[in-house]
Amino acid sequence: MDASLLQQVPHRRFNPLTRDWVLVSPHRTKRPWLGKVEKPATTDLPAYDPTCYLCPGNERADGARNPKYNSTFAFDNDFAALLPGTPAFEGDEGGLLVARSEQGICRVMCFSPRHDLTIPRMSLAEIGEVISLWTAEFRRLGELDWVRHVQIFENRGALMGASNPHPHCQIWANASMPDMPVKELRSFRDYREAKKSCLLCDYLRLELQRGERVICENDGFAVVIPFWAVWPFETLLMSKRHFASMEQFAAGESGLLADILRRITIRYDNLFETSFPYSMGFHQRPTDGQAYPEWHFHAHFLPPLLRSATVQKFMVGYEMLGNPQRDITPESAAKRLREVAEIHYLDRV
């Protein structure tokens, strides 16, 4: 493949995980911007906010009271999108009006008692606490006989629709597998059948050889801007070892995940010197009790910012109707993320 053509000529790139395409228009980066400018994220938050429904000891919107927790804390979402006791029903009128009831459990999980402490500013030990609760929640929910998929995800920042700046994530456990993991599973499976190896093991090896899209790595994990990234600074976090979910961490791997999460989120914050908004989530094996040797543990970071703390990318027009498109290439975005430091800008002396 001609690397210089990829930086000059409009082209499409293929996502082997989802089998979607992205249109890349590198010649278009000099386009002027007269559009929407966002407010920069607030950075001067208090350590405790008496009006916050996630802070320790405070009352939540439905009247429940949080314990005075001093590490992490998870609870059932008071406004859950899915409910465990949903009665079963199914309807199909000629394949045109099709519906099925969906059972589920939605959890909310606070990362820290501190209202202002985001992952990039936490210690490795504190992130370790978050990872061990993620692992415990994944195991507990996944072991329920009707739960086939557990999605851990974080919406960070008002730009991503997070309802509260207190660092937290959500966990949704479903009776059905959602669309995105279904697509990935199909790709993992077909690739394994055709090549007798793993799609992400092979992809990671290729990226580590090339280096041009790698942002950071340690002995357990690596973060790259995938060749097929849609969002300007989208990244893919992959384990170096082939395993399928958090409860299969080998010795030291949880600490290495804490390290890599801290480093990539510090780089994100440093890029525009802002609390960098994103949606992120882990893609782990389905939890229906079957073995999934084809699944490779990974996480996606999907940040909306484009060129500064106040200009975001919009997925509109052709992207809603055709397929996603980007101007800045994954390679030049990776270069920018590689160039920023791994010391948080607020901790700089």
Given CA atoms 213, 216, 220, 221 in this order, what sign does their dihedral have? negative
Query: Between residues 66 and 151, which has the closer beta carbon with respect to Zn ion?
Result: 66
Partner interacting with residue 53 (select from ligand H2U, Zn ion, none; CB below 5-8 Å by kind): ligand H2U
Give the binding range for Zn ion (CB under 5 A) out of 38-46, 112-120, 125-133, 225-233: 112-120
CB of 52 to Zn ion, least distance (A): 3
Query: Between residues 103 and 170, which has the closer beta carbon with respect to ligand H2U?
Result: 170
Listed in sequence order, the residues at least 6 apart from 210 whose beta carbon sits closer than 8 Å to its beta carbon are: none
How many Å apart are CA 331 and CA 156, to the nearest integer? 25
CB of 49 to Zn ion, least distance (A): 5
Our finding on whether 54 is near Zn ion (CB under 5 A) is: yes
Residue 168 catalytic? yes
DSSP structure class, residue 200: H
Instruction: Give residues 155-174 in contact with Zn ion (rule: CB under 5 A).
Output: 166
Partner interacting with residue 326 (select from ligand H2U, Zn ion, none; CB below 5-8 Å by kind): none
- The answer to whether 132 touches 258, Cβ cutoff 8 Å, is no
The burial of 51, by beta-carbon neighbours within 10 Å (0-12 exposed, 13-18 middle, 19 or more buried), is given as exposed
| Cα Rg, the chain, nearest whole Å | 21
Cα–Cα distance list, 129 to 16, 110, 125, 215 (Å)? 33, 11, 6, 25
Our finding on whether 55 is near Zn ion (CB under 5 A) is: yes
Partner interacting with residue 52 (select from Zn ion, ligand H2U, none; CB below 5-8 Å by kind): Zn ion
Query: Between residues 108 and 309, which has the closer beta carbon with respect to ligand H2U?
Result: 108
Structure-token match 């999980």, residue found: 109
How many Å apart are CA 282 and CA 243, to the nearest integer? 13
Our finding on whether 122 is near Zn ion (CB under 5 A) is: no
Instruction: Give residues 129-158 in contact with Zn ion (rule: CB under 5 A).
Output: none
Partner interacting with residue 146 (select from ligand H2U, Zn ion, none; CB below 5-8 Å by kind): none
CB of 166 to ligand H2U, least distance (A): 9
Our finding on whether 334 is near Zn ion (CB under 5 A) is: no
Partner interacting with residue 108 (select from Zn ion, ligand H2U, none; CB below 5-8 Å by kind): ligand H2U
Query: Between residues 163 and 197, which has the closer beta carbon with respect to Zn ion?
Result: 163
Beta strands in 41-87 (DSSP E): 73-76
- Which stretches of the chain bind ligand H2U, using CB under 6 A? 53, 60-62, 77-79, 108, 155, 162-164, 170
Catalytic choice (149, 166, 168, 296): 168
DSSP structure class, residue 41: P
CB of 65 to Zn ion, least distance (A): 14
Listed in sequence order, the residues at least 6 apart from 103 whose beta carbon sits closer than 8 Å to its beta carbon are: 82, 83, 84, 85, 86, 88, 146, 174, 175
Q: What is the largest CA-CA distance in the chain?
A: 67
- The answer to whether 148 touches 287, Cβ cutoff 8 Å, is yes
Site residues for Zn ion per CB under 5 A: 49, 52, 54-55, 115, 166
List the catalytic residues.
Answer: 168
